[in-house]
Structure 1
Amino acid sequence: MSRRSPKSPPAFETIDARVLDQVTGGRISPRTTLDPVLLQGIQQLSQAIMSVGQNLAAAKQGSSQQMMQVLQQMMQSRRR
């Protein structure tokens, strides 16, 4: 087996001054507010969840009313 010597990393290259003159800014500053598109998506999602919850509650209420009607009919039929 031959032992290879580890490769040294490539040397840094000098950046031309003309290229550096076109660079503006520096560090990236973190966003302090939510992205408007993200905020709109969250609002739409919350509206969809509320709608599903309301539909589920309405379905449960309708089911409960049907069950009560069936029970009342059963009770009335026993009394006869």
Structure 2
Amino acid sequence: MTKTQIQVPEELFRELRSFAKQREWSLAETFRRGAELLLQVYPEAPELQSTAWTPPTSGKVGWKGLSAAQLRDAAFDDGDPRLA
């Protein structure tokens, strides 16, 4: 077994000490069980993406068939009339 030191916030330490006392466990046993539970819940490291994600280019998304002028006019038509 390996001996180590850890740092935990005071509030967490108090809660863990109370938790351990209620179950008649040592703090070391409490931390070991907590670590074992983490390894059961998260058994594998998440896979890293091999390539960076890039958003689709504008040629692959909507507005097909509209010219730049038509898009500009549509954008201004949707504007708040009080701002004109």
Superposition TM-score tier, normalisation by shorter sequence: under 0.3
Q: Between the two structures, name the one with larger relative contact order (CA 8 Å, sep ≥ 6).
A: 2
Larger Rg belongs to? 1
TM-score by length of 1: 0.23
Give the alignment's TM-score, normalised by structure 2.
Answer: 0.22
